[in-house]
Copies of this chain bind each other. A is one copy, B any other.
Amino acid sequence: MLTPENVTIATLGPCRVPSPVRLNTISGDIVGNYVSDETRVRHTIEIHGTSPPTPEVLLEKAGPRERLFFDPKETRAAIVTCGGLCPGLNNVIRSAYLELHHNYGVRDVLGIRYGYQGLNPKAGLPPVQLTPELVESIHEEGGTILGTSRGPQPADVMVDFLADQRINILFCVGGDGTQRGAHAICEEVQRRSLPIAIVGIPKTIDNDIACVARTFGFSTAIERARDVLTCAHIEAHGALNGIGLVKLMGRDAGFIAAGATLASQEVNFTLIPEVPFTLDGDDGFLNVLKKRLIARRHALIAVAEGAGQGLMNDSPEERDASGNIKRGDIGLYLRNRIEAFFCEQQMPVSIKYFDPSYLIRSVPANCDDSLLCDQLARHAVHAGMAGKTDVLIGLWNDVFTHVPISVAVMGKKRVSPEGELWRSVLAATGQPPCFATF
């Protein structure tokens, strides 16, 4: 998706305002340094064979710039959180606010209520003025103090609102759909030649945004999912032919299921959208499960909600408020198929089904996610103050980068069935690479 040509970052104009941040450009004086617009980060770092590929994708490095587009004293910023809850939303709000307030001296920072709805005056949800007192301890709580919602709003209505409220920088925290909405706002802003920067902060508990190696909330979600797997393992273990079946988030990508499997080390079968499987037949999942039960009397299954969609073909395609395709419920489907199979086989089993859903996403961020949120938010502020727009803060090869929003939403990250992560899952579960020939 990324090409050497499409990674250039749009800006609102030349940067003429000196930054008030206490940094300089001198190395070796103990005082931290500004990051130059010319610093680039290599996207591809593996080299197969002797010569490196050319030309290569070089991303703009994120960080505080020496000169700003916006004068902090006259800047008005706003933050909006969209889509489903995700551990760390409050941390992002808090760090963005504190960076704007303390380090840049921006006086007005608004919190938009309930996602993009709060940018539509019809909803009657005026923004809230953020203050140090208001954000003081919000990072200790799950959720978002601003509220959130799914689904788009008309770009022209939202830009009217931004113009009316004299907002200069809008930070859009959200996933794929949210970033598409942010890009639509950018286009409308550009059409009107307004001095408004739109900065995307990627958020997806599924960890499936391209250009972002690890999204915030993912680490916390893995922890919680691991706890559920432990419970399911205990339940399976405590019953004769006990089967623990856990449905985990992962609409299109199996990162949570794979990560939780590795963290738990108790799972026997991990099923993800990226690796199709069959239920029937000698090497099908049901027969392999049966062999496992006969050998060990219990089994633990982790299934991503988007796995095995091809198995359930009876219902027409539906979409939710965010435009995501509604999936058939693979958890319930599997439970029913397993029950029917062992009933037919006259082998009594005890299935315990777990659907933790929201329980893994409405908790406070763990330490890793807290750190990630803090840095993402501050980088977003640096980008916005420098007049970067239509830009998303990326994280690749351990470095924060700037990525054009339109490029970031071109594709999604997937678990590669031939990659290191899935190799580790197979090693940890001992399951066969596939449950049948395809």
Contacts and interface: CB of A to CB of B under 8 A. Distances in A.
Given A32-B423, A367-B263, A370-B262, A359 B356 contact: yes
Given A31-B433, A239-B114, A371-B263, A427 B39 contact: no
A427 B99 contact: yes
A352 to B, nearest CB: 6
A354 B362 CA distance: 12
Given A30-B434, A362-B235, A98 B228 contact: no
Interface stretch (A68-76, A137-145, A195-203, A299-307): A137-145
Interface in A42-93: 42, 45-49, 58, 61, 63-64, 85
A168 interface: no
A372 to B, nearest CB: 10
A400 to B, nearest CB: 8
Contacts of A125: 240
A85 B235 contact: yes
B22 A399 contact: no
Copies, count: 4
Nearest to A219: B368
A213 interface: yes
A371 to B, nearest CB: 5
A420 B358 contact: no
Contacts of A223: 366-367
B46 A61 contact: yes
Most buried by B among A141, A142, A265, A434: A265
A431 B189 CA distance: 39
A259 interface: yes
A33 interface: yes
Given A378-B424, A430-B102, A231 B359 contact: yes
Contact of A418 (B31, B40, B42, B226): B31
A189 B371 CA distance: 43
A354 B399 CA distance: 34
Contacts of A143: 234-235, 237-238
Interface string A93-127: 01000110011000000000010010000000100
A59 to B, nearest CB: 10
A232 B424 CA distance: 33
A206 interface: no
Contacts of A23: 423
A420 B232 CA distance: 36
Given A30-B275, A30-B417, A46-B399, A358 B354 contact: yes
In the complex, the 4 A-B pairs of residues with the closest C-beta atoms, listed nearest first? A143-B234, A263-B367, A231-B362, A397-B397
